[in-house]
Structure 1
Amino acid sequence: MPMVADAERAVLAKCGIIQFGCDPRALGTQDCCAASIPMNAADPQELKEARALWLQDRCDEALAKFDAVLMRHPDHPLALIDAARAFGGRYQIAKAETLVDRYLATAGRTAAALALAGQTYRMIHRGRKALDSLKEAAGLSAPDAATGLELAMLLDRAGEMEAAEAVLSGVLARDPGFAEGRFFRAHVAIRRGDAEQALPELEAIAGETRHHPYLRTRACYALAEAVDRAGDAAGAIDQALRAKEFGAPDADPLRRIDSLIRKQGDQLARAFTPAKLAQWQREAGGHPPLVLLTGSPRSGTTLIEKVLDAHPGLRSSDEHDLFARFIAPPVLQPPGKAGTGDAGKRLLAADARRAAKMRATYFAGMEELLGEPLAGRVMLDKNPSLTELIPAWLRMAPHSKILVMLRDPRDVVLSCFLNYFPLNAFSVSFLTLEHTARRYVREMDCWLRLRDKLPPDQWRETRYEDCVDDLRGTAGGVIGWMGLEWSDDVMDYRETLARRLTGSPTYADVRAPVHRRAVGKWRRYEEWLAPVQPILAPLVRRFGYEE
């Protein structure tokens, strides 16, 4: 059974173990949604055609077709939901939100309709409305297993842990065999430090072949986390290796895609020059203040983003695919021929009008995502691993600043190896320690090549370890570099977090007080890291982590 693509998407949708954001393929809700929808008529042919266009990634044609469907069938419930998800996936979120509101007005605020609306609100980046809808649905009748799990997960992300546990307990009382619910209960128990409850549950899930490989993989990574917290380094490595066995059959095609991405990154880095950047800046004039926060995954980007987001003169966004999926590819790749041609030459061929269109699309999409205008505030876009696309980013917004998060390379590699990532062309490198190390080196070498071509005031590196040791001083330095005055709100960032839902996988970590437990963690794993130490040594020295 494959680990990726449609199989994983179906599990994510049906079981509620879902990333925030819009799953671009979650259309046709009677097949892939936890909640059912009352159907009074067969799907119109135009609706089937719109879905087919979306699945072929012909997004603009799909949206036009959805509009046509709704002109002819304005109250068709499935058309409203599918169109909302599609428009939300293209960051036309206000329109998508209106369509979900219309669906509820048409279908009525029944438990089933509210559950489906809640799932859709979540998919179009409206987490609070999703939570409110699912709460209302649960108040009308006991939710089914998958809907109850999604509600519990949203409550957990909102910091309402007791309410989340109560909902989950009700779900499992009604359906004790619901494996996804058992997994989430164990996952929460690990965060509480209750390994005695979690370990048997996770081991049972990981060992049961009837469960989907995706769920068994998650269980193994959770076991790795639990035994790591208990100080068992060998056990954590064993569980991580066990998890990676499920992804091995899908690795080769993903590695081929990754090699194309690497080739594109090399082409962009070669094409990018200081003279080109200066030309782009002259052509653009000015644009709204923008900072790209990037670096390797597991380097501390979420911590610094959430701290900075408390500043009244700044707004940040969780990781999204607006630039990488919808803005950069049309510029860098021939239509319908991804991975072909020279991305560097295509970047240089993008004229000022094309760049202006990229900017307009980006800032409009970000304001839709935030649900409010930027109104002169700095936009902080946290997107780890966007490093190889920095030249394309600067074609779009040539005055934007680049903030790169650094952390001891050995800690970064270890954390990437031990923790779960959805299997894709990027994370396929994390299936072995050697490939993890080489992926990190590739990304940071790319950054160093680009850094040397940027004006000194346009980039900054910030260390995770400095954030841990002196959060106020480190944040203050970054804020000043951004051109903002200090605000005491920054040190109350956990209060800001309590009012917002975060989509980062490390949402629970950043809600906790800052600690040093993860600093120098690699030393407990020195035996297993020994083979990759020579690979990392140049960057350990370059970034000043040599002892």
Structure 2
Amino acid sequence: MGNHPDTGLATRRSSNYLFARAWAEGRSYRTPAPFVRALKSHPLVSQGSLSRLLQTAAEAWNRLDYQRSIDTLERAARLDPANAAIHLELGRAHGMRYDYAAAEKCFEKAVRVAPQKAEILAMAGVHCRNFNRYEMAKNYFERAIREPKASTDTFVKLAELYERFHFLKEAGALVDRALETDPGCALALLARARLYRSTGNLEEAERLGRLLVSNKDPSAWSTCIRGWYELGAILDRAGRYDEAMAAFLEAKALIRPNAGEFLAGQRTAHERLKEAEANISADVLRRWHESSAALETPRRLALLGGHPRSGTTLLEQVLDAHPDIISAEETSVFFETYLSLKRGLPQDALMLTVLDSASPPTLKVARDGYFSAMTNFLGADIGGRLLIDKNPSLTGLVPGLIRVFPEAKFLIALRDPRDVCLSCFMQPLPLNQVSAIFLSLEGAVEEYGSLMGVWRTMAARMPNPFLEVRYEDVVQDLESLSRRVLDFFGLPWDARVLRFDEHARQKLVRSPTYADVAKPVFKGAVGRWRHYQKYLEPWVGKLAPFIDAFGYA
């Protein structure tokens, strides 16, 4: 998860995408060193001119002028057609704009002109993975490992993808090949520990976990952090909760020195959410809701929101098994829709100002653009089906959804706030503006209060239909809960939703809980917080209003 500076909300995006990363982190773009080295080919213009073109492309992307950015990159590729790096960047740009066919063409050009194929194929795989085309990524990684100079890391990256595709035997074989080449490969050891844990071999998993965290090599810092997280998960699974908490705290301690600027950014995000709470009244929401008559034919759209780690992935998989529903999992599409409304306004414009200033023609363009992007992302015609945008991070942007889609419905996943905060704390997330606040249980509680506080305020004010669903009720009686949700959406009963695990095994799930949702419902995650009650105790008072309001007292 990343955090968008304009909304203060999390959005899943490519952590390596150089233009999007600069845009999302609110800083100017500079050509990274590997890219500069790649420019030393034989272009038709000077390297200085080519660098200026790339800078122009980056600046256009930062202004959200995506087409100009892509056009400029295409010009650069024509001027230096033997530069594989430029073709890779152009493919990545197309992928970030949901044009996956164009992305693939660019990646294939990069492979053709590259003297060393293995690295370029692997990078294409990384880019595809980062813009969520895992099937494409798998294809490039599979081609990469067939090259003579394929790295051990490439074998491990493919193994991680195979895990997501539920090819555990094949994943294990790839990890073994990596370890045969390099017995000390930290990424391979980490993957093997995770595979041992997933198959219940906790003794071997722990042995490898402790081996990872004993590595004092500064270059292995990142893998050591992941090793502590994995060791924490192993010990938690073994019921050794104090030792598990100690492992998680070791991981946090290694990350914390680098988290200062991200924590400051998240505090700003919380302030903006408070401003939205204060300024967007029930009258404003009602006015926006009633504006639907000025828009086109109503769309069938629902947000599946709530706080992260509240069971949204399970609900999505259940509902996606219904033939009249199609779901999209944690895309950045609506964040981009919101930003399109902000063009021409000051950078620090309030959410109310941005949304209130949108004219009907602007809203129509935004609506069409959203569904067009979603169609491309899904790779399927939405048609007359109900589109469920599953994205907990959009919960704080509910007013924006009401403004652009006054006809939208809202399905909000709830879970015991103590379990939610504990689960967020335990996740091995890369450091960014959202994950930084989960470096402590206190921060996790603060984040929960901010996001779900906005939801409670808007739920009381908005005229749109909404339904709150508790995770604990889903796992207790899936059929009754499913019937209730389908009735809310006006859809007929279909027993396939009860076999959601079979459906999930046939598709790729992007959430960290991809392994769990491919299994039948289980109740093991309910009340997990009790194992760590003494660690939560100092902060649980701040959760009391939500524990009471959501029925967990």
Q: TM-score surpassing 0.5?
A: yes
- Which residue identity does 1:328 align to in structure 2? Y
2:539 to 506, 526, 532: 532
State the 1:38 CA deviation. 13
Among residues 86, 100, 123, which one is paired with 2:130 in the alignment? 123
- For 1:31, the aligned partner's letter is P
Deviation at 1:83, TM superposition (A): 0.4
Q: How does 1:277-356 map to 2 (within 5 A)?
A: 277-324=288-335, 326-332=336-342, 338=347, 340-356=348-364
Match of 2:440 among 422, 432, 435: 432
2:18 corresponding residue in structure 1 = 25
SS in 2 for 1:159: coil
Residues 471 and 426 from structure 1, CA distance in 2 versus in 1: closer, same or farther, beyond 3 angstroms? same
Which residue, 466, 474, 478 being the options, matches 1:467?
Answer: 474
1:70-469 aligned within 5 A = 70-72=77-79, 76-103=83-110, 114-139=121-146, 141=148, 143-210=150-217, 211-269=219-277, 270-272=279-281, 273-324=284-335, 326-332=336-342, 338=347, 340-455=348-463, 458-469=465-476
TM-score normalised to structure 1 length: 0.87
2:43–2:81: 8 Å Cα contact kept in structure 1?
no
Q: SS of 2:388's equivalent?
A: strand
Select 2:506's aligned residue among 499, 502, 508: 499
Give the letter for the 2:517 counterpart. Answer: V
Contact 1:314–1:377, Cα closer than 8 Å, also in 2: yes
1:462 Cα deviation (Å)?
A: 0.9
Q: Is the 8 A contact 1:171 1:181 kept in 2?
A: yes
Structure 1 residues 259-317: Cα deviation after superposition (integer angstroms, max 9, x where no partner): 22222222333225332223432222434311111111111111111121122222212
Letter in 2 for 1:298: R
Q: CA deviation at 1:91?
A: 2.6
Residue 521 (str. 1) matches residue 531 (str. 2): no
User: Which residue identity lines up with residue 297 of structure 2 in the other structure?
Assistant: G
Question: Closer, same or farther in 2 for the Cα pair 1:142/1:108, shift >3 Å?
Answer: closer
TM-score with structure 2 setting the length: 0.86
1:494–1:361 Cα change, 3 Å: same
Does residue 52 (structure 1) correspond to residue 55 (structure 2)? The answer is: yes
Contact 1:93 1:124 in 2 (8 A): no
Once residues 434 and 31 of structure 1 are traced to their aligned partners in structure 2, the CA distance between those partners, rounded to angstroms, is 39
Q: Is the Cα contact below 8 Å between 2:289 and 2:402 reproduced in 1?
A: no
Q: Which amino acid aligns with 2:527?
A: G
- Alignment root-mean-square deviation, CA: 3.0
For 2:509, what is the secondary structure of its paired residue? coil
Q: What runs of 5+ residues in structure 2 fail to find an aligned partner?
A: 4-11, 21-30
Q: In 1, are the aligned partners of 2:437 and 2:447 still within 8 Å (CA)? A: yes
Cα distance in 1, alignment partners of residues 375 and 16 from structure 2 = 20
Q: Percent identity?
A: 30
The residue type paired with residue 299 of structure 2 is P
Q: Which amino acid aligns with 2:473?
A: D
Of 276-285 and 349-358, the range deviating more from structure 2? 276-285
Secondary structure of residue in 2 paired with 1:452: helix
CA distance in 1, matches of 2:58, 2:207: 40
Letter in 1 for 2:334: F
SS at 2:315 equivalent: helix
Alignment check: 8 A CA contact 1:332 1:343 kept: no
CA distance in 2, matches of 1:483, 1:75: 55
Count of paired positions = 523
C-alpha contact 2:502 2:518 (8 A) present in aligned 1: no
Instruction: After superposition, give the CA deviation of every residue in 1:411-436 in whole Å (9 maximum; x if it has no partner).
Output: 11111122222222222221221221
Q: Distance in 2 between matches of 1:67 and 1:251?
A: 37
Query: Runs of 5+ in structure 1 lacking a partner?
Result: 6-18
